[in-house]
A and B are shown apart, each in its own frame.
Chain A
């Protein structure tokens, strides 16, 4: 890539920091050049988030339909999977699979709900009602 061809399409990161790219100058020598972003990878990242948003919406619908407990919604919301949630909460994966059933979830002790709520950064009430907070 030639130095003058380093793209400057402003990405979400580009607003905070430019990134270092390696490119060649007119004599073919490698130099570094800062880039604000590149349209090709901005759309790649957008694609990934579109997919995540669809997953979150589907999870929400499943919970509303009574097919899954609110945990499913928070797992998708946190871009997690069962194994990562197990690592964060200290529950076994089979326990989480069990807690994903609405009937089981409804009867969970507050102490266990609290462990989930902490990881998802919400209150126990919010956990039950699928309410989210920022970061």
Chain B
């Protein structure tokens, strides 16, 4: 059984699943950048003292699940989300949705995701994909980061739906409920609330480790990494930073480019000239994140390695923090006409 479903490739899995599932229920206006912006997806956090894969915990986006949740909420679209304790019930529920003609989003772990190259398969449990049918023992899969659709056997799908560890998916499955058509007015409101939420998250969360403060904090830490960790370990830390920033799904520059694209699309709904100017700031910031990544690569490839080089790396991040502070302050000061 194959449901009528259009595969859409996206930079990021959750944006892609959100966009595709909304299109599937007739909401055609929501693009990946709009989903990301309305869902207030942009973020920065560095959690010291904690480690993932023996490296630092750094994220450039908001917590998994929030983009889908916020975007649907902003557009007044009800959402069904279910977790399961039993594998049998999880599969039965999935089959029931398919039988009712409904493609669904699934949270899965990447480690056992057979169609990914081995090099990318870590124990990361917040990947998202869409199941849109089943033929014999194969589930039909639309994974937004892939160019084309793919398949997983029922055993393989069960294994990734019940991956263990941090953010274990527990068979989690979700979909938006078909309702009234979404109006431009709703999208306008969604854009406004998304921007305001993002301003909040980047400028006003107390403490030093999140948002613009978090970028400055990381900058100052990086300058100390060489002495504190030694050149080799410091290189591994920087490699991890670069992977979080550029690895499959960020659209480049740690999601900053997607946010720039969002502001351009938001302009079409609000016609505030400032938005286009602020969009350029995010392009600048994304470019600088990538310049910093090149600097980091110089260090972990062994081409660079002096304290001076680490200082330069830290200074790039300080400059980025200033640009993003300026951008979000301007977003905060937008004069909304509604």
Give the interface of A toward B (CB within 8 A).
1, 6, 12-13, 15-24, 28-30, 32, 34-35, 38-41, 43-45, 47-49, 51, 55, 79-80, 83-84, 87-88, 135
- In the complex, are the beta carbons of A20 and B261 less than 8 A apart? no
- In the complex, are the beta carbons of A13 and B248 less than 8 A apart? yes
Q: Mark B139-170, 1 if CB is under 8 A from A, else 0.
A: 00000011110000000000000001100100
Give the interface of B toward A (CB within 8 A).
9-11, 32-33, 53-55, 111-112, 114-120, 122-123, 145-148, 164-165, 168, 235-236, 239-240, 242-243, 246-249, 251-253, 257-258, 260-261, 264, 279-280, 283, 286-287, 290, 293-294, 296-297, 300-301
Select which of A13, A18, A47, A83 is within 8 A of B235 by beta carbon: A47
A residues within 8 A CB of B54? 51, 55
CB closest residue in chain A, given B122: A79
B residues within 8 A CB of A43? 239, 297, 300-301
B residues within 8 A CB of A83? 165
Nearest-CB distance from B263 to chain A (Å)?
Answer: 9
Select which of A29, A34, A45, A87 is within 8 A of B165 by beta carbon: A87
A residues within 8 A CB of B235? 47
Given contacts A19-B11, A48-B243, A135-B114, contact A30 B264 (CB under 8 A): yes
- In the complex, are the beta carbons of A1 and B258 less than 8 A apart? no
Select which of A20, A44, A47 is within 8 A of B251 by beta carbon: A20
B residues within 8 A CB of A17? 145-148
CB closest residue in chain A, given B111: A79
- In the complex, are the beta carbons of A20 and B243 less than 8 A apart? no
Contacts between the two chains (Cβ within 8 Å), count: 126
Bound complex: CA A34 to CA B148 (Å): 13
Given contacts A16-B117, A84-B123, contact A29 B264 (CB under 8 A): yes
Nearest-CB distance from A23 to chain B (Å)?
Answer: 7
A residues within 8 A CB of B248? 13, 19
B residues within 8 A CB of A16? 115-117, 146
Bound complex: CA A44 to CA B217 (Å): 22
Bound complex: CA A45 to CA B111 (Å): 15
- In the complex, are the beta carbons of A30 and B236 less than 8 A apart? no
**Which of A12, A19, A51, A87 has the largest count of B CB atoms less than 10 A from its CB?**
A19
- In the complex, are the beta carbons of A44 and B115 less than 8 A apart? no
- In the complex, are the beta carbons of A22 and B257 less than 8 A apart? yes
**Which of A18, A30, A84 has the largest count of B CB atoms less than 10 A from its CB?**
A30
CB closest residue in chain A, given B244: A44
Given contacts A19-B145, A21-B251, A47-B236, contact A41 B246 (CB under 8 A): yes
Nearest-CB distance from B109 to chain A (Å)?
Answer: 11
CB closest residue in chain A, given B301: A43
A residues within 8 A CB of B147? 17-18, 34
B residues within 8 A CB of A28? 280
CB closest residue in chain A, given B168: A87
B residues within 8 A CB of A30? 33, 257, 260-261, 264, 279
Nearest-CB distance from A21 to chain B (Å)?
Answer: 5
- In the complex, are the beta carbons of A1 and B253 less than 8 A apart? yes
Bound complex: CA A80 to CA B52 (Å): 10
- In the complex, are the beta carbons of B53 and A48 less than 8 A apart? yes
6 tightest Cβ-Cβ pairs between the two chains A and B: A30-B261, A87-B164, A22-B257, A47-B239, A44-B239, A20-B11
A residues within 8 A CB of B247? 41, 44-45
- In the complex, are the beta carbons of A22 and B164 less than 8 A apart? no
- In the complex, are the beta carbons of A21 and B11 less than 8 A apart? yes
Nearest-CB distance from B88 to chain A (Å)?
Answer: 18
What are 10 A-B residue pairs whose CB atoms fall within 8 Å in the complex? A1-B290, A20-B11, A20-B145, A22-B257, A23-B252, A23-B257, A43-B297, A44-B239, A47-B300, A79-B111
B residues within 8 A CB of A80? 123
Given contacts A17-B147, A44-B242, contact A12 B252 (CB under 8 A): no
